[in-house]
């Protein structure tokens, strides 16, 4: 049984995640559970002082859901275990302070507090349930919950992604990890998302703008195109917010969600991020996916899981989706608003013709930190939830496009291994990002 301190995957009715392949065996499930438990017990959520994230939980869960063999699960775990660092001891003094809301707020941000926050949230879940803990510490609306809600969207969505895995796979221990991870991030993204939420509330009256309509506006806005600079350390915090914060707020506020629109708007968000992520190509350079945009796709898969949570209000489900989509818009702008080339998707010629099974077999065998498998799983899932709405203009990715995007993704990551370059292009709208990327003619 899964608990706040034990990871145990299940295969009974109701245990399956949002997207999985059939045929997963008891042996595969036990292997994945054991490795996830080892990661939970032994390793810090940040593998270095700069705050780079431990992705082992994401990777193991994603490839288990894609029916990876025990050998593939073990190999990928061992690759990523090699550079992790041990957790620091629990700080008993801080642990006691966390019981008080003021003490909780006082101890947010330092990464060395991760293990202490993890113990705190494990204890809180043990007193009740992970659902009750999320309601209290993320969705209650008080100062403590608001501080945590903002931090879910920090670190290029990593706390939200980690929480998504906990919710989708029904693992209290991973929910505890996600909350502890969020507690160790700053709240700078709130400088954009809180004003956007306030502006949306003040001006809401008519229908929401579609996401692709807002993407088109951002792409054609010279001020937005010029806001992020190549040498910015963080292109949202150092570029978009200080140089175009008011304009970004104005545009982001034009997207909003009504409770009766949750399913369609979830699909629209998924369609839009896949559209600009796969379409942000730079011919004649080889096809590659942007590292930052890829996180917007990888996080999309969890929204249907949140929609199924009966304990979570429709207002909070809508708020999650609004914040995610507004961040998606800012993320698009932060990489210099690249052209979105739908023809690059529709005219793509796969290296190996196959359906999704062939693509997923290949990504389970691809040895990286898990981003590739997460991307493939999110794309395959996106096709299923967007299908009912593809007749609508705001859904620019249509049925046949999904499999082509899957081929683009697996071909691109395999090509980077062959060419000895980074798996992802970083900041796809800048010509500088493509400087060392091989040309298609060289493949």
pLDDT of residue 203: 84
Of 87 and 236, more confident: 236
pLDDT category at 173 given cuts 50, 70, 90 is very high
Tally Cβ neighbours within 10 Å of residue 332: 29
What's the CA gap between 118 and 90, in Å, rounded?
9
pLDDT at residue number 49: 77
Confidence of residue 51 (pLDDT cuts 50, 70, 90): confident
Least confident of 21-25, 202-206, 253-257: 202-206
pTM over 0.95: yes
Residue 12's pLDDT is what? 87
Asked whether the predicted pLDDT for residue 185 surpasses 90, the reply is yes
What pLDDT shows up at residue 206? 75
Region 214-222: mean pLDDT is 98
* Mean pLDDT of all residues in 352-359: 98
pLDDT confidence band for 13 (50 / 70 / 90): confident
Reported as a single tens digit per residue, the pLDDT across 301-315 is 999 999 999 999 999
pLDDT at residue 204 tops 90 = no
Long-range contacts of 123-132 (CB under 8 A, 24+ apart): 123/4, 125/3, 125/4, 125/172, 125/175, 125/176, 126/3, 126/4, 126/5, 129/172, 130/4, 130/166, 130/172, 130/175, 130/176, 131/309, 131/311, 132/311
Share of the chain above pLDDT 70, in %: 100
pLDDT in tens, 377-425: 999 999 999 999 999 999 999 999 999 999 999 999 999 999 999 999 9
| Res 443: pLDDT | 83
**263 pLDDT exceeds 80?**
yes
Q: Report pLDDT for 364.
A: 98
């Amino acid at each position: 049984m899964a608990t706040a301190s034990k990871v145990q995957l299940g295969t009974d009715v109701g245990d399956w995640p949002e997207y999985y392949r059939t045929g997963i065996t008891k042996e595969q499930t036990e292997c994945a559970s054991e490795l996830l438990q080892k990661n939970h017990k032994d390793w810090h959520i940040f593998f270095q002082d700069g705050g780079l994230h431990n992705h082992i939980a994401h990777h193991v869960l994603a490839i288990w859901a894609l029916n990876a063999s025990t050998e593939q699960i073990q190999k990928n775990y061992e690759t990523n275990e090699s550079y992790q660092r041990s957790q620091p001891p629990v700080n008993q003094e801080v642990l006691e302070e966390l019981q008080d809301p003021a003490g909780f707020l006082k101890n947010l941000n330092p990464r060395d507090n991760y293990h202490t926050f993890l113990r705190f949230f494990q204890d809180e879940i043990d007193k009740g349930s992970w659902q009750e803990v999320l309601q209290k510490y993320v969705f209650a609306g008080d100062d403590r919950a608001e501080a945590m809600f903002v931090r879910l969207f920090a670190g290029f969505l990593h706390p939200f992604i980690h929480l998504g895995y906990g919710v989708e796979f029904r693992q209290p221990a991973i929910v505890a990890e996600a909350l502890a991870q969020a507690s160790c991030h700053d709240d700078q993204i709130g400088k954009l998302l809180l004003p956007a939420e306030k502006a949306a509330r003040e001006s809401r009256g008519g229908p929401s703008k579609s996401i692709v309509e807002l993407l088109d506006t951002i792409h054609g806005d010279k001020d937005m195109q010029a806001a992020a600079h190549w040498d910015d350390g963080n292109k949202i915090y150092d570029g978009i917010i200080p140089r175009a914060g008011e304009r970004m707020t104005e545009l982001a506020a034009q997207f909003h969600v009504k409770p009766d629109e949750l399913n369609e708007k979830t699909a629209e968000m998924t369609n839009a991020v896949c559209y600009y992520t796969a379409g942000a190509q730079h011919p004649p350079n080889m096809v590659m996916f942007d590292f930052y945009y890829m996180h917007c796709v990888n996080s999309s898969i969890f929204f249907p899981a949140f929609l199924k949570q009966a304990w979570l209000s429709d207002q909070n489900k809508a708020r999650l989706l609004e914040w995610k989509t507004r961040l998606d818009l800012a993320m698009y702008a932060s990489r210099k608003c690249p052209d979105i080339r739908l023809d690059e998707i529709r005219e793509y010629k796969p290296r190996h013709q196959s359906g999704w099974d062939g693509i997923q077999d290949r990504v389970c065998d691809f040895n990286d930190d898990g981003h590739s498998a997460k991307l493939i799983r999110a794309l395959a899932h996106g096709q299923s939830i967007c299908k009912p709405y593809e007749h609508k203009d705001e859904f620019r990715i249509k049925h046949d496009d999904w499999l082509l995007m899957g081929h683009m993704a697996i071909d691109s990551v395999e090509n980077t291994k062959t060419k000895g370059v980074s798996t992802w292009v970083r900041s796809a709208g800048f010509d500088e990002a493509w400087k060392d990327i091989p040309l298609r003619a060289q493949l």
